[in-house]
Amino acid sequence: MGNLESNVFGKKKFSDILKEIYDNQKKKEIQITSLIGELKPLINDLGDATLIVPLIKEYMELGIKNDEQLVKMATIIQRALASGKSEEEGFGMTEEEKQQLLGEIEKFNKKD
């Protein structure tokens, strides 16, 4: 996993970015689970359900999106490990893929 210690930009290592994404995902998972848990007891009748269930659905969708980010992260790691390429060869990623990854990271960090 030596190539995960390569600097991607500035002093930020590839492994630092992956850890940051993972930590943020776990934090959001806990927050979403907590919010859903707080909403469930508020459902006493059909009227409550029509107001609260859409909120729970939205939180569940956020959880799914968080899981998608983890899958993307795992794909990147798998590609980096499978390629066995040196730092100069860029983890087997094209320049376009690197830019897309950095864009995803920026979008993810703006959501926090």
Q: What is the pLDDT along the chain (112 residues), one digit of tens a residue?
A: 556 676 666 787 778 877 887 888 888 888 888 888 888 888 888 888 888 888 888 878 887 887 787 778 778 777 776 776 544 455 556 778 778 877 877 777 776 5
Sign of CA dihedral 93, 20, 16, 12: positive
Cα–Cα separations (whole angstroms), residue 67 to 34, 39, 50, 103: 17, 22, 27, 18
Q: Do 50 and 109 contact (CB within 8 A), yes or no? A: no
In angstroms, the CA 2 to CA 72 distance is: 20
In angstroms, the CA 88 to CA 82 distance is: 16
